Amino acid sequence: MAASKVWLGCSDSRCPETTILGLQPGDVFVHRNIANIVSPTDINTSAVIEYAVVHLRVEQVMLCGHTCCGGAAAALGDSRVGGVLDTWLTPLKALRIAHSVELAAILDDNARAVRIAELNVEAGVKVLMSNAVIQEAIKERGLEVHGCLFDLNSGRVRDLGFGTTKGADLCGASSQIVRGNHGMLVFQAGGASMIVR
């Protein structure tokens, strides 16, 4: 069975989509990059979206940011990260400037980083919603687009209300995406085993 959804997420190793969603390999088509940035000029992201929407005919596009994001923290700082990373994080720096008053009013550094991660998801969903392939699939077959945020502390994914569903309950659990059983790979002296809970 082909994947029914495409996950656009962050490369952060703490955000494995199949574990987060409780899915098995093959259940979700995946594209990840630093800080889950969706740029209309990124041919890699565009190719993934086109393949997933046109050829796999996924039913859902999920753009998911997360708390404790290093890209968000870097965008909030004044120092350079270095190399191509400064160029890659430019959209986040632009969000910081565009929302400077709102972000400056948030005194807690962690809360400020969460807010810029939310703003990044919102900006990414706007790019997705302007993509011709996605627009056609929404019109022709009801493709859904969701903007979400994964909370590393609670392990929950929250629908931010961006996209086609505008905050609708995605899984019957008060705006949290929780699906399937969660697997855990346990390493012991004699080898490894999978525990499903």
- When pLDDT is cut at 50, 70 and 90, the band that residue 181 belongs to is very low
What's the confidence (pLDDT) of residue 24?
85
What's the confidence (pLDDT) of residue 100?
96
Query: At residue 193, does pLDDT exceed 50?
Result: no
pLDDT tens by residue, 102-125? 999 999 999 999 999 999 999 999
Query: Residue 40's domain is classified under what CATH number?
Result: 3.40.1050.10
Domain of 129 in residue numbering reads as: 5-196
Question: Reduced to 3 states, what is the DSSP secondary structure of residue 129?
Answer: helix
Q: Which residues are catalytic?
A: 10, 12, 14, 66, 69
Distance, in Å, from the CA atom of 128 to the CA atom of 48, rounded to the nearest integer, reads 12
Average pLDDT for 26-39: 94
Alpha helices in the chain (DSSP H): 17-21, 43-50, 70-76, 84-88, 90-98, 100-104, 109-129, 132-141
Strand partners, 32: 9
CA separation (Å) from 35 to 65, 124, 177?
7, 11, 20
Query: At residue 177, does pLDDT exceed 60?
Result: no
Total domain count, the chain:
1
What's the confidence (pLDDT) of residue 13?
87
What's the confidence (pLDDT) of residue 138?
97
What's the confidence (pLDDT) of residue 19?
85
Q: Which amino acid is at 136?
A: E
Rounded to 10°, the helix 109-129/132-141 angle is 70
Output 26 or 145, whichever has higher pLDDT.
145
